[in-house]
Chain A
Amino acid sequence: MRRLLAFCLLFILILSGCGSDSTATKEFDLAPLSQIIVTSENPFIANKTSNQFAAEGNFSNLFTQDISAEVVWTSSDPGVATIDANGLATAVAPGTTQITATQDGVFDFFFLTVTDATLSRIDIAPVAPAVARGLTQQFTAQGTFSDASEQSLTGSVTWSSVNTNIAAIDQTGLATALLEGTTNITAAFDGVTRTTQLTVVAAALTAIEITQTLSEVPQQVNVKHIATGTFSDGTSSDITAQANWSSSDESIATVAASGIAVGSAAGSVTITAAMNALSSSVTLNVTEAFLVQINITPATPTVAADNTLQLTAIGVFNNNATADITTADITAHALWTTSDGSIATLSNITGSEGLATGSNAGTTTVNATSGTITGSTVLTVN
Chain B
Amino acid sequence: MKQLASTIIGSLGLLFCIATTAAADHPRPYLSLIGGLNLADEMTLSDRGGDFITTFEPGFFAGGALGYDLGDGFPQIGKGRIELEVGYRYNELHDTQFSTGTLDSAGDLSTLSVMVNTVGEYREYAPTYFPYFGVGIGAAVISMNETSVAGHPLIDDSSVQLAYQLLAGVCLPLGKNLAMDLGYRYFGTLDPEFTDSRNNKVEADLGNHAIEIGLRLRF
Residues of chain A having any CB pair with chain B under 8 Å: 3-4, 7-8, 10-11, 14-15, 17-20, 22-31, 60, 62-63, 65
Extra 12 A-B pairs, beta carbons < 8 Å, given A4-B122, A30-B154: A7-B133, A11-B166, A15-B166, A18-B188, A20-B207, A23-B53, A25-B50, A25-B52, A25-B99, A26-B99, A28-B103, A62-B101
Chain B nearest CB: distance from A20 CB in Å? 5
Give B144-161 as 1s and 0s: 1 = Cβ < 8 Å from A's Cβ atoms: 000001101110000000
Residues of chain B having any CB pair with chain A under 8 Å: 2, 6, 9-10, 13, 16-17, 20, 41-44, 47, 49-53, 97-101, 103, 122, 125, 131, 133, 149-150, 152-154, 166, 168, 186, 188, 197, 205, 207
Complex partner residue of A24 from B13, B99, B125, B207, CB under 8 angstroms:
B99
Chain A nearest CB: distance from B214 CB in Å? 18
A330 to B50 alpha-carbon distance, docked (Å): 56
24 A-B residue pairs with Cβ-Cβ distance under 8 Å, sorted by A, are A3-B16, A3-B20, A7-B16, A7-B17, A10-B9, A14-B10, A15-B186, A18-B6, A18-B186, A18-B207, A23-B51, A23-B53, A25-B52, A25-B99, A26-B51, A28-B52, A28-B101, A28-B103, A30-B152, A31-B150, A60-B152, A62-B101, A63-B100, A65-B100
Complex partner residue of A20 from B42, B98, B153, CB under 8 angstroms:
B42
A91 to B50 alpha-carbon distance, docked (Å): 39
Task: Give the residues in chain B near A29, CB-CB below 8 Å.
Answer: 49
Q: B47 to A26, Cβ gap below 8 A?
A: yes
A7 to B12 alpha-carbon distance, docked (Å): 10
- A26 with B44, Cβ < 8 A, contacts A4-B122, A10-B13, A11-B13 known: no
A257 to B168 alpha-carbon distance, docked (Å): 61
Q: B13 to A26, Cβ gap below 8 A?
A: no
Closest 7 CB pairs of A and B: A26-B50, A25-B50, A30-B152, A28-B98, A24-B97, A26-B49, A26-B52
Chain A nearest CB: distance from B13 CB in Å? 5
Q: B150 to A30, Cβ gap below 8 A?
A: yes
- A27 with B150, Cβ < 8 A, contacts A17-B6, A18-B6 known: no
Nearest B residue to A62, CB-CB: B150
Q: A62 to B103, Cβ gap below 8 A?
A: yes
Task: Give the residues in chain B near A20, CB-CB below 8 Å.
Answer: 41-44, 53, 205, 207
Chain B nearest CB: distance from A323 CB in Å? 46
Chain B nearest CB: distance from A31 CB in Å? 6
Task: Give the residues in chain B near A22, CB-CB below 8 Å.
Answer: 44, 51, 53
Nearest A residue to B153, CB-CB: A30
Task: Give the residues in chain A near B17, CB-CB below 8 Å.
Answer: 7
Q: A7 to B99, Cβ gap below 8 A?
A: no
A265 to B88 alpha-carbon distance, docked (Å): 65
A7 to B150 alpha-carbon distance, docked (Å): 44
Chain B nearest CB: distance from A140 CB in Å? 31
A190 to B157 alpha-carbon distance, docked (Å): 62
Q: B53 to A24, Cβ gap below 8 A?
A: yes
Q: B9 to A14, Cβ gap below 8 A?
A: yes
A15 to B51 alpha-carbon distance, docked (Å): 23
Nearest A residue to B149, CB-CB: A30
- A63 with B49, Cβ < 8 A, contacts A7-B13, A17-B2, A30-B153 known: no
Nearest A residue to B42, CB-CB: A20
Chain B nearest CB: distance from A220 CB in Å? 50
Complex partner residue of B51 from A25, A31, A65, CB under 8 angstroms:
A25
Task: Give the residues in chain A near B41, CB-CB below 8 Å.
Answer: 18-20
Complex partner residue of B100 from A4, A8, A10, A27, CB under 8 angstroms:
A27
Q: A27 to B98, Cβ gap below 8 A?
A: yes
Chain B nearest CB: distance from A111 CB in Å? 31
Which of B10, B51, B100, B122 lies at the interface centre, i.e. has the most chain A CB atoms within 10 A of its CB?
B100
Chain A nearest CB: distance from B38 CB in Å? 14
A33 to B6 alpha-carbon distance, docked (Å): 43
Q: B188 to A4, Cβ gap below 8 A?
A: no
Q: B98 to A26, Cβ gap below 8 A?
A: yes
Chain B nearest CB: distance from A157 CB in Å? 36
A8 to B132 alpha-carbon distance, docked (Å): 11
A11 to B13 alpha-carbon distance, docked (Å): 9
Nearest B residue to A24, CB-CB: B97
Nearest A residue to B125, CB-CB: A4
- A24 with B186, Cβ < 8 A, contacts A10-B13, A14-B6, A62-B150 known: no
